[in-house]
Amino acid sequence: MLPLSLSEHIAEVFFTAEELDAINRRLGEQITKDYQGKNLCVVGVLKGSLMFMADLIRYIDVPCEIDFLSVSSYGNGTTSSGEVRIIKDLDGPLQDKDLLVVEDILDSGITLSFLLETLSARHPRSIRLCTLLDKPARRRVAIKPDYVGAEVEDQFIVGYGLDFAQKYRNLPYIGVLRPEIYEEI
C-alpha cells in the first residue's frame, strides 16, 4: 500500500526550496554578466524546466525573450528510451538570437544533444545550455552544460519540475522517490 501524503513518497530531500533559490540566484547573476548587450532568448524545455526557468529568469537582469518547446524520450519510465520526439516547437525564428536552453536535468544527454543540434541548424547567433541538475554518471552522449546548478548522484529524483509518470512536479523541493513507488508500475 502506498503512503497517502505526497511527502511520504520521498525517501530523502536532496535540495530544499531555499537551496534551490540560492542556485537560481547564483546562475541568474552569472547569466546576467554573460549576456550583457546580447539578444537573449531563454528557451525552456517543457515540462520539467517550467519551475526552474520561472524562478531563474527572475534573477536574470537583462532584457530577454522566452519561449518553450517540448521534447520527450522518457514516456512513463525511469530511463530514456533513446528515441527523441519534438512535441511542441518554438514559436518564432532564431536568427540573430543568443539562445539559452534551460533544462531541469542533464541525464543521458540524448535528448539535449538532439535538441541542441536541431536548434543549431536554425542559425541562432549562439547557443548555451543551462541545467539545474547534472547527472554525469548516466551520460551516454558527450555533452557539457555551460551553466550547472548542481551535480547529482545516480538516483531517481523528483520535485521542482522533475517527474515520475507526470507526477511529483509540484513539490517545492527535490527529493529521491521511494523505489516502491516506481517499481510497482
Residues with catalytic function: 107
The DSSP element (H or E) to which 12 belongs, if any, is strand 10-15
**Sheet with 147-151: strands ordered across:** 85-88, 64-72, 40-46, 98-106, 126-134, 147-151
Q: Is residue 66 a contact partner of residue 44, using CB atoms and an 8 Å limit? A: yes
Q: Is residue 86 a contact partner of residue 54, using CB atoms and an 8 Å limit? A: no
Q: Is residue 159 a contact partner of residue 104, using CB atoms and an 8 Å limit? A: no
Query: Which one, of 178, 58, 97, 82, lies nearest residue 168 by Cα?
Result: 178
Concatenating the DSSP letter of every residue in 64-108 gives EEEEEEEEES-TTSSS--S--EEEE--SS--BT-EEEEEEEEESS
